[in-house]
């Protein structure tokens, strides 16, 4: 933990896990969607469901979905702001198994019709974990430039992705692989030390066998 | 790498012939690969954020639950009326601590130190010291480094989370951090800084986290007052030459042990203590 995590962060209260972490979950979810949001269904779980209202967790997640950072003083007005932007927001209860007590399931749809579902957890102190994307295991913090590739479970796709990173001199910090069954759907998640150029991300999308490419840039850490 | 003990911090400061806050700053520069100026600017910006948060207090605002708000104004009025017997400085600290805790509960912008729930401890102590003793920008920055360094040691040896260690880990840690910060502002020696922190944390050992309705409001807001005032008296003890029989590092270890052994009902689950009183349950059902 850095000293600015001890004194700091500057954040909108009342809780680093239930408010600041919730904003971050919304923000990372929006960045993963990668396109302007049209509607979102937010399903709360555990302590988020039980005490979320009093902690403003609902407002915080929506604020993040609008692109706000945890120190934005407009977080309490996020519902109104979402309405103004014509974004439809609905809430419900999530039915998750073996989930962290501070979890949320977010179903998003962009204006172009791109859909993404994310389950995320707020781990405390404002740090978060993206647990699943579109039902497949994920497991990343959102603190690094992160590449998520959904592909057919067949040989060669990891090599395609990693050789592209090598050519662009991008170092991989962590890497995870999951699949549902042999020859089924697979997902690889790579947290990187450098940003990946957008054209390289786009290039990956053209490869056969790669179903969906999602990129979380940290350059977009600034508010929109 | 960060600091695993105050002993380690003192030793490293000794090796580099510098003060404790300087070794903490050096560590930050090394860890984040930043220049001295950048590190110091960023540190001071937190004090400005505290000032801003204090200024933006609104006594008419209430929290979402309706449990918090308006008490800061009551203290402010009592000070103006001259009916506080705590003295000018302590009264100012009390006012600042309540205001910051209420602002946090009302979803306003604050500086977590170490947590959002304990944001009023360090801020109120520094803001009151600033108002009464007019330290320089640099001196305030040095004090903030010291607070951060103490919090770092506590988070490495024990915990700064109420869910893990109870309120002692939040308000207790905040109080120890503030005590160290004030000791730096008063030109305390490294030994006095450690005694200050040790007194502050010892005084709050065993404090449980039992918030009503699971919200960062009751008793959290007013515990910021306890943490802040305790920091000041702890520093006064150390500056007067009183020594903690148990060294600061060992006090932190005791806090960790108590936190481990503390029943779950008293670690932010709202299954015991104040949360389970008749009144606590009443608010629970109103949620």
User: Which of B43, B65, B160 faces A54 most closely, judged by CB atoms?
Assistant: B65
Instruction: Map tokens 């407002």 to a residue.
Output: A59
Q: How far is B102 from chain A (nearest CA, A)?
A: 9
Pairing of strands A37-45, A88-93: parallel
* pLDDT range class, residue B103, cuts 50, 70, 90: very high
Give residues with Cβ within 8 angstroms of B217, minimum separation 6.
A14, A54, B63, B65, B67, B68, B105, B211
Please indicate whether, in this complex, the C-beta atoms of B111 and A20 are within 8 angstroms of each other: no
Q: Does the beta-carbon distance from B107 to A14 stay under 8 Å?
A: yes
Q: Across all residues in chain A, what is the average pLDDT?
A: 93
Residue A222 has pLDDT above 60, yes or no: no
**Is residue B2's pLDDT more than 80?**
yes
Domains of chain A with bracketed CATH: 8-133 (3.30.1330.90), 146-216 (3.30.70.260)
Tell me whether residues A3 and B106 touch, CB distance under 8 A.
no
Task: For an interface test with A, give the residue of B98, B112, B161, B271 to mutate (most A CBs within 10 A).
Answer: B112
- Segments making up each domain of chain B, as ranges: 6-49+135-285
pLDDT tens for each residue of B204-213: 999 999 999 9
- Nearest chain B residue to A21 by CA distance is B116
Q: What is the pLDDT averaged over residues A202-213?
A: 95
Q: Flag if B63 and A54 touch (Cβ within 8 Å).
A: yes
Q: Model-level pTM?
A: 0.91
The answer for B 168-197 residues in CB contact with A (under 8 A) is 177
The reply to whether residue B108 touches residue A12, judged by beta carbons under 8 angstroms, is: yes
Tokens (6 digits) for B23 = 């070794």
List pLDDT tens digits, range A19-63.
999 999 999 999 999 889 999 999 999 989 988 888 999 999 999
B21 interface with A at CB cutoff 8 Å: no
B 35-64 residues with CB below 8 A of A? 42-43, 46, 49, 63-64
Instruction: State the average pLDDT over residues A159-187.
Output: 95
The answer to whether B122 and B174 are in contact (CB under 8 A) is: yes
The tens digit of pLDDT for each residue in B6-48 reads 999 999 999 999 999 999 999 999 988 899 999 999 999 999 9
- What is the arithmetic mean of pLDDT over B112-136? 97
Model confidence at B62, pLDDT cuts 50, 70, 90, reads very high
A177 to chain B, minimum CA–CA distance in Å? 30
For B143, residues 6+ apart whose C-beta sits below 8 A from its C-beta are B21, B126, B135, B181, B182, B184, B185
The answer to whether residues B166 and B191 touch, using CB atoms and an 8 Å cutoff, is no
- Which residues of A sit within 8 Å Cβ distance of B? 1-4, 6-16, 19-20, 47, 50-51, 53-56, 59, 71, 73, 75-76, 124-126
Neighbours of B285 (CB within 10 A): 7
What pLDDT score was predicted for residue A24? 96
pLDDT at B209: 96
pLDDT at A224: 53
Q: Is the pLDDT of residue A220 over 70?
A: no
Share of chain B above pLDDT 90, in %: 94
How many CB atoms are located within 10 Å of the residue B147 CB?
Answer: 35
pLDDT at A221 (0 to 100) = 56
Q: Band of the pLDDT at B57, cuts 50, 70, 90?
A: very high
Percent of chain B surpassing pLDDT 70: 99
Burial A49-77 (b: 16+ CB within 10 A, else e): bbbbbbbbbbbbbbbbbbbbbbbbeebbe
pLDDT at B6: 98
What is the average pLDDT across B71-97? Answer: 98
ipTM of the complex: 0.95
Mind listing the pLDDT tens digit for each residue in B151-186? 999 999 999 999 899 999 999 999 999 999 999 999
């Amino acid at each position: 933990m850095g000293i600015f995590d001890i004194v700091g962060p500057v954040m909108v209260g009342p809780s680093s896990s239930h408010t600041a972490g919730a904003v971050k979950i919304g923000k990372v979810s929006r960045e993963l969607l990668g396109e302007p949001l049209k509607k979102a269904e937010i399903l709360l779980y555990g302590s988020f469901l039980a005490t979320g209202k009093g902690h403003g967790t609902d407002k915080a997640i929506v604020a993040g979905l609008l692109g706000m950072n945890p120190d934005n003083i407009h977080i309490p007005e996020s519902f109104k702001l979402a309405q103004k932007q014509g974004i439809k927001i609905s809430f419900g209860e999530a039915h998750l198994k073996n989930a962290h007590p501070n979890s949320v399931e977010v179903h998003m749809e962009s204006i172009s019709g791109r859909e993404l579902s994310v389950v995320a957890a707020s781990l405390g102190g404002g740090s978060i974990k993206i647990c699943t994307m579109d039902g497949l295991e994920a497991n990343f913090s959102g603190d690094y430039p992160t590449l998520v590739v959904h592909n057919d479970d067949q040989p060669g796709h990891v090599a395609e992705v990693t050789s592209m990173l090598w050519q662009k001199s991008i170092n991989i910090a962590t890497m995870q692989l999951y699949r549902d069954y042999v020859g089924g759907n697979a997902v690889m998640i790579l947290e990187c030390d450098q940003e990946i150029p957008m054209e390289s991300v786009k290039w990956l999308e053209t490869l056969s066998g790669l179903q969906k490419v999602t990129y979380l840039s940290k350059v977009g850490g600034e508010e929109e | 790498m960060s600091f695993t003990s105050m002993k380690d911090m003192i030793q490293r400061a000794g090796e580099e012939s510098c003060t404790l806050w300087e070794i903490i700053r050096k560590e930050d520069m090394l860890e984040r690969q930043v220049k001295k100026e950048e590190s110091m600017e960023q540190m001071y910006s937190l004090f400005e954020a505290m000032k801003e948060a204090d200024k933006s207090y609104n006594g008419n605002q209430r929290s979402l639950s309706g449990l918090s708000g308006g008490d800061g104004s009551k203290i402010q009025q009592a000070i103006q009326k001259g009916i506080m017997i705590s003295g000018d400085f302590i009264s100012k600290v009390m006012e600042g601590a309540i205001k910051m805790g209420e602002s946090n509960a009302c979803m306003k912008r604050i500086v977590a130190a170490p947590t959002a729930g304990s944001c009023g401890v360090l801020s109120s102590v520094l803001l009151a010291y600033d108002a009464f003793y007019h330290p320089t920008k640099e001196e305030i920055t040095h004090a903030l480094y010291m607070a951060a360094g103490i919090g770092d040691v506590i988070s490495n040896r024990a915990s700064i989370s109420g869910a893990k260690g109870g309120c002692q880990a939040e308000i207790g840690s905040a109080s120890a951090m503030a005590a160290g910060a004030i000791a730096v502002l008063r030109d305390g020696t490294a030994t006095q800084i450690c005694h200050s922190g040790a007194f502050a944390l010892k005084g709050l050992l065993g404090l449980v986290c039992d918030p009503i309705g699971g919200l960062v409001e009751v008793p959290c807001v007013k515990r910021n007052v306890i943490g802040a005032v305790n920091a000041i008296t702890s520093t006064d003890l150390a500056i007067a030459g009183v020594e903690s029989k148990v060294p600061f590092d060992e006090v932190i270890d005791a806090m960790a042990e108590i936190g481990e052994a503390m029943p779950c009902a008293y670690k932010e689950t709202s299954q015991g203590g104040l949360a389970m009183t008749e009144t606590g349950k009443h608010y629970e059902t109103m949620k």
